[in-house]
Chains A and B, each alone.
Chain A
Amino acid sequence: MKDLFSKGDILSLKWKILLVLVCLLVAGSIFYLAGLMNSDMANGLRNAQSELQNARTNIDQIAEEEATIIEYIGRYQELAADGIVDPEDRLQLLELFAEIRREHDLFPIRVSIEEQSTINLVYDPYETAPGGPINVNVTNVSMGLPLLHEGDLISLLDSLLDTTGLYVLKECSVSLRNPSQTNFIVLGQYQEAECDLLWFTFDVDPPLPVQPFF
Chain B
Amino acid sequence: MRSLFKQENSQFMIITNHEMRLYVWENKSFHFVSEFDGSSHSLEAFKQVQGKLKKLPAILITNILEESFRSETIAPVSGSDRKALMDRKLNYAFRKTSFRTASVIEREKDGRRDNRILLSGLTKPDLLLPWLKILLENKTPVQSVSSAAYLAEAFAKTAGFDKESYTLVTSLERNNELRQTFMKKGKILFSRLTTLSSRNLDSLGKEIYKESVQIRSYLERVKLLPYEEYLKIKIYCSHDDDELKLIQKTTHLNHFDFINIHHELAKYSTALTEAQQGPLIYFLHSLLQKKLIHNTYASPKIRKYFLLANVGRSLVYASFGIIVLSLALSIPMYLESWDLSKQQSELITQTQPLEIEYGLLTQRFPETPIPSKEMALVVESYEQFLAQVSSPIAAMSYISENIASSPTLQLTEITWTLLPNAADPASPEYANMRYLSYPINSDDGFIAAVLDNRTSLRVEISGIAYSSGSYREAQQQVQLFADALAARPGVRVTPVRMPTNVRVDTPVNTTIDNNELSAPFLLQLDIESL
* Chain B residues with CB under 8 A of A132: 371, 374
Binary interface profile of A, 188-207, with partner B (CB < 8 Å = 1, else 0)? 00000000001010101000
Give the interface size class of chain A.
35 or more
A173 and B458 CA atoms in complex are apart in Å by: 11
Q: Which residue of A lies closest to B371 (CB)?
A: A131
- Given A45-B347, A202-B381, the answer on whether A71 and B393 have CB atoms closer than 8 Å is no
Q: Is residue B266 contacting chain A, with contact meaning CB distance below 8 A?
A: no
Q: Please give me the residue from chain B that is nearest to A42 by CB atom.
A: B340
B392 and A72: CB pair below 8 A?
Answer: no
Q: Is the interface of A mostly helix, strand, loop or mixed?
A: helix
Assembled-state Cα–Cα distance A42/B327 (Å): 20
> A74 to nearest B CB, angstroms?
9
Give the complex CA separation of A198 and B372 in angstroms: 27
A98 near B: Cβ within 8 Å?
Answer: no
Q: How far is the CA of A40 from the CA of B14 in the complex (A)?
A: 64
Complex CA distance for A38 and B330, rounded to whole angstroms = 10
* Complex-state Cα separation, A65 to B368, whole angstroms: 11
Separation in Å of the B252 CB from the closest CB of chain A? Answer: 54
**Binary A-proximity of B345-388 (CB < 8 A = 1, otherwise 0):** 00110110011011001100110111111111111011101101
Contacts of A72 in B (CB 8 A): 372, 375-376, 379
A52 B351 Cβ-Cβ under 8 A = yes
Any A CB within 8 A of the CB of B414: yes
Task: Point out the residues of chain B lying under 8 angstroms from A123, CB to CB.
Answer: 373, 377, 434
Q: With an 8 A cutoff between CB atoms, is B450 at the interface?
A: yes
Contact A122–B434 (Cβ < 8 Å): yes
Q: Is the interface of B mostly helix, strand, loop or mixed?
A: helix
Distance between Cα atoms of A70 and B190 in the complex (Å): 109
Q: A55-B358, A169-B418, A171-B416 are in contact. Are A69 and B368 (CB under 8 A)?
A: yes
Chain B: interface size category: 35 or more
Q: Which of B330, B383, B446 has the most CB of A within 10 A?
A: B330
Q: A52 to B358, Cβ gap below 8 A?
A: no
Q: A140-B443, A161-B389 are in contact. Are A122 and B326 (CB under 8 A)?
A: no
- Expressed in whole angstroms, the Cα–Cα distance for A173 and B416 within the complex equals 6
Nearest Cβ on chain B to A12's Cβ, whole angstroms:
7
Contact of B365 (CB < 8 Å), options: A62, A84, A136, A174: A62
Give chain A's interface residues, CB within 8 Å of chain B. Answer: 4-5, 9, 12-13, 16-17, 19-20, 22-24, 26-28, 30-31, 33-35, 37-38, 40-42, 44-45, 48-49, 51-52, 55-56, 58-59, 62-63, 65-66, 68-69, 71-73, 75-77, 79-80, 84-85, 117, 119, 121-125, 127, 129-132, 134, 136, 138, 140, 150, 153-154, 157-158, 161, 166-176, 179, 198, 200, 202, 204
